Chains A and B, each alone.
Chain A
Amino acid sequence: MKQIKRFFKLLLRSSTGTAGMVIVILICLCAVFAGQLAPHDPNAMDLTNMTKPPAWMEGGDWSHVLGTDNLGRDILSRMLYGSQISLVVGILATLTSGAVGMVLGLVSGYYGGVTDHVIMRVADAFYAIPGILLALVTLMVFKSSGIVTLVLVIAAISWVQYARLIRSEVLRLKGKEFVKASKTLGASSGYIIFHHILPNVWPSFIVVSTMSVAGSIITEASLSFLGVGIQAPLISWGGMLSDGRVLLATHWWVATFPGIMITVAILGITFLGNWLRDVLDPHNKGL
């Protein structure tokens, strides 16, 4: 309880940190209560209300605040439901790649030798192909585009950053006196990893994971924009942008609002991540 109180005290001291937290909480609320908040069924087509402009423009009305797309679907409702997909994919992909990268980084750094070489060369190979390219080719080859596939593919292109980070942290910690002392006293590898190494690796892991949620959301949106990510009837911000692209010259709002939503979400997560980095940095007096 005391920890939580201190956390919020520190958070309120930073304006960008607070802004980031507020945005993240708002988006989480949008995702959780999309069903209650959305004024319309996000997939309901209304051919009498096609490409209606936002409420404040001529021809718009308040039943469709942000207007409708070319099938008469309400843009606000679709954006609210889209936040569910973005968050779910972003968080699941981060958890998966974080877990894989964490284990491989720990093993690679702690045991060294051939294991280290093999893991790091595989990491180099993955690193040599731009992530979006590898994800696109994999998704198109496997011809499947469910949420699970998408999460696995995004995890496959982002585990390398964790593995490298954790490995370098482990290498740094391995040389420290407290680890050597523990080893001399006869502690097992498992004990050292869980009691001495992991607690010291957490801070940088948390910072990278936060940033990685933002990266995964952009990747998901990009893949959906290319048409290989989330498929209808599921709604993704990237997919909405892709739908709106063809209407750009005549109906700008269809592609504009989902883009703003992605930008705000990423900004919020990045602000929060930057603040976490400042607070969790052992050189700063943080939590």
Chain B
Amino acid sequence: MGRYLLKRVVQIIPVLLILTLIIFCLVYVAGDPVALMLPPEAGEQAKAALREALGLDKPFYEQFFIYIGNLLRGDFGTSYQYNQDALSLVLERMPYSLQLAGVSLACSVVVGIVLGVAAAHFRNSPFDLLVNGFAALGQALPGFWVAIMLILLFAVKLQLLPVSGSGTWQNLVLPAATLTLVTSAKIIPLVRSNMIEVMQQDYIRTARSKGLRGSTVVFKHAFKNTLVPVITIIAMQLPTLIGGALITETIFAWPGLGMLIYRGVANLDMTVVQAGVMAVALITIVANLISDIAYCIIDPTIKYQ
């Protein structure tokens, strides 16, 4: 396992390099930020001087290597919009993203496992049908529409919760509910089908015939074996919840990473976009690595090459 993990860690290096190149290309295409950084009355001479100071007059590959060098030193550049270090901006917003993603992911996992296991247990009953319907609907509903419908119902009609903003727990409820609905719908069918498969295995029959209680069989013997796919989907959803929740964040004015990147790209503040996208990508890569390690711990039968 040690060798396998080492190989996985080494593989991250080329991935990071390719990633940096993709992001850098986008920034390069976005064009010259100089006009946005100087007052409109600035002359050509001032623009050229700033371009030279920022290294924008150098050829593409040279700029790319300088950029990588800066990244390695932890220098992500300065945001002209906020006049602040881009990395510190990202770190400032990160807690909001982690909070929203953490709460939604925790709720989704609980809802997904409880409903998935229960649906598998009462297979083909009306309850199962209801859970399946909920999962199918949850996967078909566009997240942004759920968000505005929740606002319409709970904030506008019933006036129970605030429309948008951050700071109190009430602000967290609607965005977290939106993300939970969409994410748990992906977990339920996975848990359900795995549970059904596991429940038909020989060792479950053995456990039953030993006279163990139904709940012991379900939770001690069967449930553990459905964890591997659940971990995979958690690792897949975490980055989507942190960086990809930008629509939910925009609708609820939640000051997370997604919104920072959205505002950044709208104002062509590409240093912020670079730093934000890099942060999200790093989280994805680390989440995948952790899920791989978790497999080894949970399921010793998985073989690694």
Which residues of A approach B to under 8 Å, CB–CB? 117, 121-122, 124-134, 136-138, 140-142, 214, 218, 221-222, 225-226, 238, 241, 245, 248-249, 252, 255-256, 259, 262-264, 266-267, 270-271
Q: Nearest Cβ distance between residue A114 and chain B, in whole angstroms?
A: 12
Asked if residues B265 and A124 are in contact (CB atoms below 8 Å), the reply is no
Q: What residues on B are CB-neighbors of A241 within 8 Å?
A: 142, 144-145, 148
Nearest 4 pairs between A and B by C-beta? A130-B244, A259-B145, A266-B140, A125-B18
Seed contacts A125-B16, A222-B143, A225-B247; 9 additional CB < 8 Å A-B pairs:
A124-B18, A128-B285, A137-B26, A141-B26, A141-B30, A226-B247, A238-B144, A266-B142, A270-B136
- Partner among B239, B265, B284 whose Cβ is within 8 Å of the Cβ of A136: B265
Q: Nearest Cβ distance between residue A20 and chain B, in whole angstroms?
A: 10
Which residues of B approach A to under 8 Å, CB–CB? 11, 14-16, 18-19, 22, 26-27, 29-30, 136-137, 139-145, 148-149, 151-152, 156, 239-240, 243-244, 246-247, 250-251, 258, 261-262, 265-266, 273, 277, 280-281, 284-285
- Partner among B26, B142, B156 whose Cβ is within 8 Å of the Cβ of A138: B26
Q: Would you list 12 pairs from A and B whose C-beta atoms are within 8 A, ordered by A residue?
A: A129-B277, A130-B243, A132-B244, A132-B247, A133-B243, A133-B258, A136-B246, A137-B265, A222-B142, A241-B142, A259-B141, A271-B136
Q: What residues on A are CB-neighbors of B29 within 8 Å?
A: 141-142
Asked if residues B244 and A133 are in contact (CB atoms below 8 Å), the reply is yes
- Partner among A125, A132, A221, A267 whose Cβ is within 8 Å of the Cβ of B137: A267
**Bound-state Cα–Cα, A248 to B136, Å:** 26
Q: What residues on B are CB-neighbors of A245 within 8 Å?
A: 148, 251
Asked if residues A133 and B140 are in contact (CB atoms below 8 Å), the reply is no
Q: What residues on A are CB-neighbors of B246 within 8 Å?
A: 132-133, 136, 226
Q: Nearest Cβ distance between residue B260 and chain A, in whole angstroms?
A: 11
Given A218-B142, A262-B145; A137-B19 close (CB under 8 Å): no
Q: What residues on A are CB-neighbors of B137 within 8 Å?
A: 263, 267
Q: Nearest Cβ distance between residue A138 and chain B, in whole angstroms?
A: 6
Q: Nearest Cβ distance between residue A107 and chain B, in whole angstroms?
A: 17
**Bound-state Cα–Cα, A117 to B285, Å:** 17
**Bound-state Cα–Cα, A264 to B19, Å:** 36
* Nearest chain B residue, comparing its CB with the CB of A250: B156
**Bound-state Cα–Cα, A255 to B14, Å:** 44
**Bound-state Cα–Cα, A126 to B29, Å:** 18
- Partner among A121, A132, A133, A270 whose Cβ is within 8 Å of the Cβ of B14: A121
Q: What residues on A are CB-neighbors of B149 within 8 Å?
A: 256, 259
Asked if residues B11 and A222 are in contact (CB atoms below 8 Å), the reply is no
Q: What residues on B are CB-neighbors of A256 within 8 Å?
A: 149
**Bound-state Cα–Cα, A133 to B262, Å:** 8
Asked if residues B244 and A131 are in contact (CB atoms below 8 Å), the reply is yes
Given A125-B18, A128-B281, A262-B145; A248-B247 close (CB under 8 Å): no
- Partner among B14, B247, B285 whose Cβ is within 8 Å of the Cβ of A222: B247
